[in-house]
Structure 1
Amino acid sequence: MSWMVWTLPTAGFFSGIALILAGMTIWQRFSPSIERKGFLPLSTTRGDRLFIGLLTSAYIHLGFVGFTEFHVLVATGISAIWMVVLMRWG
């Protein structure tokens, strides 16, 4: 990845998202999702909740970087917990 001058954390981040998308594709292939209503105010599928979770995780990271002095791994931990909650009960 040196041709893009990526740092190891950046490459790991995008590789992780690619693995999540590949895993969701395989999961959808073998177990098609159905719309359901959780605590979100709309009916969603697994893919919808994944998209919402990735988007809100990006905002969590931006908030931590912009407004706190905490290490970015704190935001990553909060985002991971948020993704689990959202995918399970959202």
Structure 2
Amino acid sequence: MKMSRKKYSEDFKKTIVDLYHSGSSVKDLSSEYGVTEVTVYKWIKQLTPVQSGEEEVTPKDINEMQKEMQRIKQESEIFKKAMAIFAKK
């Protein structure tokens, strides 16, 4: 029997993390909201801000920025190759 994965909104996840930072235990949050403790810990890790100069950045934000940088690098390489092809003509 395959278990279906529940999808939680970003707002729900942030609320759980905020409640954790306000003093609620992971165990209490898990039982009250029907989310596994492992999942709560994962959200805490992903959504807890890291102070970076003037801005707060979460590990999730960093991951998204890294993916975007990789996409931009790939586009840049494609553009460079295309420019080299057109320069030969």
TM-score over 0.5 for the alignment?
no
More strand by share: 2
More helix by share: 1
Identify the structure with bigger relative contact order (alpha carbons < 8 Å, sequence gap 6+): 1
TM-score bracket for the superposition, by shorter chain length: 0.3 to 0.5
TM-score of the aligned structures, taking structure 1 as reference length: 0.36
TM-score of the aligned structures, taking structure 2 as reference length: 0.36
Determine which structure has more spread, i.e. the larger CA radius of gyration.
2
